[in-house]
A and B are shown apart, each in its own frame.
Chain A
Amino acid sequence: MTSEEGRGADAAAIDVAYVARLARIDLTPEEQARFQRQLDEVVAYVRKIREPDTSGIEPTAHAVAVRNVFRDDAPRPGLDRGEVMANAPAVVQGLFRVPQIVE
């Protein structure tokens, strides 16, 4: 199956340009085309899941038939701050420094 057929036949196809815009990722036209091709192939593969007849089967939010898994409200120490901030690209006053956030 070609990627074009895959997209045409499936409304749930991934629009790479749109998703990249949502995720604030700049893609070159070449990257966009390449990722589109690759993701279309992935979607076409996953679409096999549509083949079984599921009419009359109640939808579920989870594949495991277990409910009510909770933990007690007991605090425990987290990570060492040095360890946490070691992963920050830049630090300002103990904060992760990031590009200016607009409100």
Chain B
Amino acid sequence: MTEKTPTLDTASESKYRIIGKRVDRYDAADKVTGQAVYGADVHPSNLLYGKVLRSPHAHARILSIDTSAAEALEGVHAVITGADLPSVSDRIVDLGETATSLRYQSDNILAKDKALYFGHAIAAVSATQPYIAEEAVSLIKVEYEILPPVLDVRKAMRPDSTLLHDDIFTDELGQKSTQASNVASHIRHAQGDVEAGFRQADVIIEHEFETTMVHQGYIEPHNATAIYNPSGQITIWCSTQGSFGVRSQTSDVLDVPISSVHVIPTEIGGGFGGKNSIYLEPLAVLLSKKSNNRPVKLTMTRAESLAATGPTSGSYIRVKLGADANGHLTAAKLYLAYEAGAFPGSPVGSAAGSMISEYRISNVLIDGYDVVVNKPRTEAYRAPGTSNAVFAVETVVDELCEKLGMDPIAFRLLNAAKEGDRRPDGPTHPRIGFIETLQAAQSHDHYQTPLDGKYRGRGVACGYWGNWGGRSSVSASMNADGTISLITGSIDLSGTRTTTAMQLAETLGIDLEDIVPQVADTNSVSNTEGTYGSRTTFATGWAAHKLGCKLIDAVKERAALLWDIPVDTVDYEDGCIFSKANRLTFKDISKYLDETGGPLMVSATSFEGGHGPSATTHIVDVEVDPDTGKVDILRYTAIQDVGKAIHPDFVEGQIQGGVVQGIGWALNEGYFYNDEGQLLNANFLDYRMPTFLDVPMIEAVLVEVSNPRHPYGVRGVGEVPIVPPPAAVANAIHDAIGVRLTALPMSPARVLEAVWEQTPSAYLG
């Protein structure tokens, strides 16, 4: 067991009283006793239970649906099908980290003419008991005309491919093509002259890569409970990353005013990008409406969650990199074809913007394709689209280092981007800490300690992610005892009530215990984007800082009234309000609220740019079992520029969790479809996420290169940790057994095949 590593504080601040301390988490006690209420725990009076019928076919026309037997079953209250959803327009709706056409969003929630993937929702039922609802859906008769499934991204792109939709016309670099296609769009980033760049190169490496869909794998499946009351007011309880997103999406899909939808977010059992879009909410509302306005709860099984929500794209990627003899990258040519699933909207754009952005390269050409296939519609997953792309890029970088005989960290230091350099997709880098992470990696005990042993190897890989800011809203009320009730619209996935309160306490100079943070529903706070894009501690924290500044102004005004002096003669410092002759603590002002105007309440919002990108360097040691192909992780170190770690425990936790998800993606996780497009591993035994036994301690090293554009130097931390692991593990496997793997997951079977290919005699034993 390794010891906790102290924070490497390059920003040199011990100037904070609260920020940077490992304080108690506000909601922890409720979460260790079972009192915290998650979506599936909600139980309004007179509750009914719902169940969704899903398509067993990947691609089929729906000829008829007969719900009569289900409706006749005792205990059944309502049955709905696609015909119950209002027809909606083609306008674009925001899903948080992704966007889609409203019609596609509606069609994903309930299929209309065609089922487009195995697990696509066809109908839904409400009943007095969950098992009656289950029995009822089995009584619904659907007549399908089975169509050929489109399952391979490259085949889907061919002009003669079967089409999923007859109304998708490729957006070809901004121009709509005239022939229907499965390719929804083609994007390109070009810089310099890539062919000239390759002519300058002394070493050129090119490889093709293939990766399969992987799932976010949150332990809590999707759920929604809704009431449609007799006056048309809708209340929804659900586990979501963003309550305001649920409100707007539900109002769009049901074509009802946004003001009629009240979303009460519960605690949430993990999201990782997969709980921004709605799935069940409109169904629960419609079922309630048809069930005499009784509340209806829908929860997904694990199989439904894997087959019909979430995953991120499988992909086909080509990477060609050139470097001169001194190790300078001269050109990069990248080709990405991403599975969007059944509707357009893969993260190919964010992949293109981040897969190689930590390097300085003058000549770059990136082509990206968003392609529909008969698989579930993809959703955001932690640094969307980037891990698989970086698996490709960093594998080729590793091979360049090998051919040049250069140390992988020295090579990266030579090519590392810094402030002022331009990203291949246009933007110029603000202050980033990539170089600092490389330097910390180089001098780290892990890198300095030689790794001995046959079949053992070490890999290095890096990652970059842009992060996000967005809209946040908070408010504060002063209580009778001078404590503050802090209301935030940000869903708390992993401690952001606390990190938001810490930033407010720091600004006010008061004790953290004097702030009571709470996540509010959509009627109680203003618009707040979901907890995604590594944005919450950055943006909601910024709003909390502004809130603190406004509170300081407010209490100064109250003190000026109380002391009967001009407000500009009142000062505030370290939690105290004072003038030449007077002094009060922040809390004390609560005693004088009535005589200075009554209750004190302040709100603040933020919608800032300035989110700082994250860069990271990972080192991993593996051991490969040559007989079984199994790869064991021996040691893992993740070194990340975290800006300012508001709560170091939580930042380490983000890194450790992201790394282990990345290890799962590297070694075991992946969707397996049969030729008919049916998902064969829709359970946690066969969709094999890392367990306690599969991983060692994960050392998280926090490098703090303060984000100059945030009041407390915060940059997002949650997403970039998942970016390097597949590449780092692949490079370590190469170091161990001399084989380059170019497909994910690097399962025992794949590793073994690669070993046999390399040494056919190994196959013969």
- A and B held together in a complex: no
Listed in ascending order, the chain B residues whose CB lies under 8 Å from chain A are none
Listed in ascending order, the chain A residues whose CB lies under 8 Å from chain B are none
